[in-house]
Structure 1
Amino acid sequence: MKILVTGANGFVGKNLIAELKNRGISEIFEFTRKDNLALLDEYLRECNFVFHLAGVNRSQDEDEFMDGNFSFTKTLLELLKKHGNLAPVLMTSSIQAELNNTYGKSKKAGEELLFAYSKKMGVRTLVYRLPNLFGKWCRPNYNSAVATFCYNIARNIEIQIHDPNKEIILCYINDAIAEFIRALECKETRDGAFCYVPVTNKIKLGVLAEKLYAFSKNRDSLVMPSLENAFDRALYGTYLSYLEEDNLSYKLKKNMDNRGWLAEFIKSDSMGQIFISKTKPGITRGNHWHHTKVEKFLVIQGEAVIKFRKVGNEEVLKYKVSGENPEVVDIPVGFTHSIENTGDEDVITIFWASEIFNPNKPDTFYLEV
């Protein structure tokens, strides 16, 4: 299949082309506003499907809206007619096509042009009135609140919100692209004459900002905000994509003593806490128990023995572990426990605890195994 993508270097175009290539589609005709119309003419002679993503959504000159959203669409359809090419055409419009502004009028004019073309030529057409899209590769400080907020917050630049209670409808770019792939396979989601992306999210601007600021504070607090729903996961991934390229890492605080060192890695109000430690040969850590807190130990380097003794009993249980054979050991409540480095090299261990350590209520009681 030969696929034409107009607006190929735009936000949607880049994401769509990347996914088409992921799916093994190699004949992709990429057209941008910098290209000559002769190239478009050539592409429209051969293509089997058209993703018409090109358009103007911000300009100082209002005439550019009609030129980019109506006139260019007209040229594209005329070239298809010229070549007798009945390839399906998918066009991205906007929810603003319902509004009485210059941009909205230009998008609606483009829609009506495509509908008329479809009726006259008997061609399958798909018009998507998209809400606010967000995701990787979206241009900040342009026309996306999410992109602008992510970019600024990642750089400690103040963001401007005039009405924190204003609700916006957001659509994740991956959900939009998934729908476009379904459309390519004749499985589009329709509501009458229009198609739509079935997954959207409504959120207040103030809440959106709060979420993004919470993401930015993670490096200092180590506390991960909840990512239990798909929207929050998509938003977090989007935020990270706007970090500066020389700011993709951060150091952990190492708590060092004669045994080695221990560092906190990740904290979560719902999933507890992860630590990592290095323990010197012959050294034992632990010798304590918990009422409520449970843990998991995973040695990833060296050799160690993990010992247990139920509080009040004398029997000692032993588990020999090593980094060569990763094995997770559960630490139940009511058992005093320890881990001893029995090898000749440092032992590196990943610890998970079911709750974030609270120095005011540590739930940790010293008792030799």
Structure 2
Amino acid sequence: MKILVTGAKGFVGKNLVYNLKNQGYSEIYEYDLDTDPASLDLFTRDCDFVYHLAGINTSKDPEVFMRTNLGSTETLLTSLKKNDNKAPVLFTSTAQVSVDNPYGRSKKAAEDLLLSYRSETGSKVVICRLPTLFGKWCKPNYNSIVATLCHNIAHDLPLDFGNPYVEINLAYIGDVMAGFISFLKDKEGNIFSSDKKGLGFYYFNIQPVYTFHLCEIIEMLNTFKKDRLNFLVPDVSDPFLKKLYSTYITYLPVHQFNYPLEKREESHGYFAEFIKTPEKSQIGVEVTKPGKTSTSHWHNTKCGKFLVVSGTGTISFRRADQEETVEYQVRGENMEVVDVPPGFIHSVTNNGNTDLVTLIWFNEPVDSNGPDSIYPEV
């Protein structure tokens, strides 16, 4: 398929172009403000599908909205009609069409023009009324309040957004892309099967849409910022938290992606926490020096998984109420996980000439105020 994307360098357009390419669509006509206007006529001669994303949603001059949002639609449709191309057109509108403001009025006028074009030509039209969007590559202080919040919090800038209890409807750019690309699966028109009157147009609502108060979004983002340096990550089983967190970290200053771990020095080497989650699990890194053995201990409830990623050693076990000892020989190149159950005394010995590096998962984090550890010898 030959796909035309107007507004290809904007937030939605850039994500769409990369998603299309990732799914194997190679003939993509990218049209934006810096594209030679004559190219539009060439693109509309043989394109099979049109994503009309071009437009503007922020301006101090109210007249710019109508001139740009309606004007770009008029230019596109005129070019399609000139070339007698009835390719389906997907248009990104806004939930603000019902709001009496210059932006909403301009998008509603573009919608009406598209519906007239559909009646005149019989071409298929998809109208997507989008809520506030968020995700990677969204421009702060322009596209989305979420982008501005992420940017300001990540860069320690002040927040001043009026009523903190205003409700915001949000859609994630990844969900928008999935919805948009679904329309390519059958460009012949089966996507309009719900149009019982055969009118040839389709209002499409992106799902899911998440609704939060502004202050709730700010609280989540501030928590991400604070927890990052405490080795905590959010509960990614929550779809919205996962998407918001993935968005937030794209706004970190590029020279601040890194942060140090805190090493706990021990007689055999050291241990460093890497990740903790609200579900109370933890991942850490233990380094055992050559010829050294970690302190033997066991747990009442805590269990773990050990993965030696570098070096050679022995992990020894003895059930606390028995005498028999079991040993596992471990090597970094084997990439073998060893379970550490509760009630088993265990230790790690470095048999090699280099540091033994072990990645350790625990089902709960280390608690210095109430450690679940008992220290007999294996």
Question: 1:242-276 CA deviation, whole Å, 9 max, x = no partner?
Answer: 11111111111222344222211111131511110
Contact 1:179 1:188 in 2 (8 A): no
Residue in structure 2 matched with residue 75 of structure 1 by the alignment: 75
Residue in structure 2 matched with residue 54 of structure 1 by the alignment: 54
Contact 1:269 1:355 in 2 (8 A): no
Contact 1:269 1:356 in 2 (8 A): no
Q: Take 1:174 and 1:225, find their aligned partners in 2: how far apart are those partners? A: 19
4+ residue runs of structure 1 moved beyond 3 angstroms?
A: 186-193
Query: Is structure 2 residue 109 aligned with structure 1 residue 109?
Result: yes
Q: Take 1:323 and 1:37, find their aligned partners in 2: how far apart are those partners? A: 59
Percent identity, please: 46
Structure 1 length-normalised TM: 0.96
Q: Take 2:225 and 2:151, find their aligned partners in 1: how far apart are those partners? A: 11
Equivalences for residues 198-277 of structure 1 within 5 A? 198-277=207-286
SS in 2 for 1:287: coil
Residue in structure 1 matched with residue 198 of structure 2 by the alignment: none
Residue in structure 2 matched with residue 127 of structure 1 by the alignment: 127
Structure 2 length-normalised TM: 0.94
What are structure 2's unaligned runs of at least 5 residues? 196-201
Q: Take 1:180 and 1:318, find their aligned partners in 2: how far apart are those partners? A: 56
Question: 1:90-117 CA deviation, whole Å, 9 max, x = no partner?
Answer: 1000000111111111110100110111
Q: Take 2:193 and 2:53, find their aligned partners in 1: how far apart are those partners? A: 18
Q: Take 2:99 and 2:194, find their aligned partners in 1: how far apart are those partners? A: 19
Contact 1:278 1:349 in 2 (8 A): yes
CA shift, 1:190, in A, is 8.8
| 1:95–1:191 Cα change, 3 Å | farther
The residue type equivalent to 1:53 in the other structure is: L
Query: Is structure 2 residue 345 aligned with structure 1 residue 350?
Result: no
Q: Take 1:266 and 1:343, find their aligned partners in 2: how far apart are those partners? A: 28
Q: Take 1:77 and 1:47, find their aligned partners in 2: how far apart are those partners? A: 13
SS in 1 for 2:216: helix
| 1:66–1:161 Cα change, 3 Å | closer
CA shift, 1:191, in A, is 7.6
SS in 2 for 1:356: coil
Question: 1:44-85 CA deviation, whole Å, 9 max, x = no partner?
Answer: 122111110001211111111111111221121111111111
| 1:188–1:266 Cα change, 3 Å | farther
The residue type equivalent to 2:243 in the other structure is: A
Higher mean Cα deviation, 178-187 or 189-198?
189-198
> Structure 2 residue aligned with 1:311, among 320, 341, 364?
320
Higher mean Cα deviation, 104-113 or 283-292?
283-292
The residue type equivalent to 1:19 in the other structure is: N
The residue type equivalent to 2:48 in the other structure is: N
Residue in structure 1 matched with residue 65 of structure 2 by the alignment: 65
CA shift, 1:161, in A, is 3.6
Equivalences for residues 11-50 of structure 1 within 5 A? 11-50=11-50
Residue in structure 2 matched with residue 279 of structure 1 by the alignment: 288
Equivalences for residues 60-209 of structure 1 within 5 A? 60-186=60-186, 188=191, 193-209=202-218
SS in 2 for 1:256: strand
Contact 2:6 2:53 in 1 (8 A): yes
CA RMSD in angstroms, aligned pairs only = 1.6
CA shift, 1:230, in A, is 2.0
Equivalences for residues 323-342 of structure 1 within 5 A? 323-342=332-351
Contact 1:140 1:147 in 2 (8 A): yes
CA shift, 1:292, in A, is 1.0
Contact 2:131 2:171 in 1 (8 A): yes
Contact 1:189 1:195 in 2 (8 A): no
| 1:129–1:26 Cα change, 3 Å | same
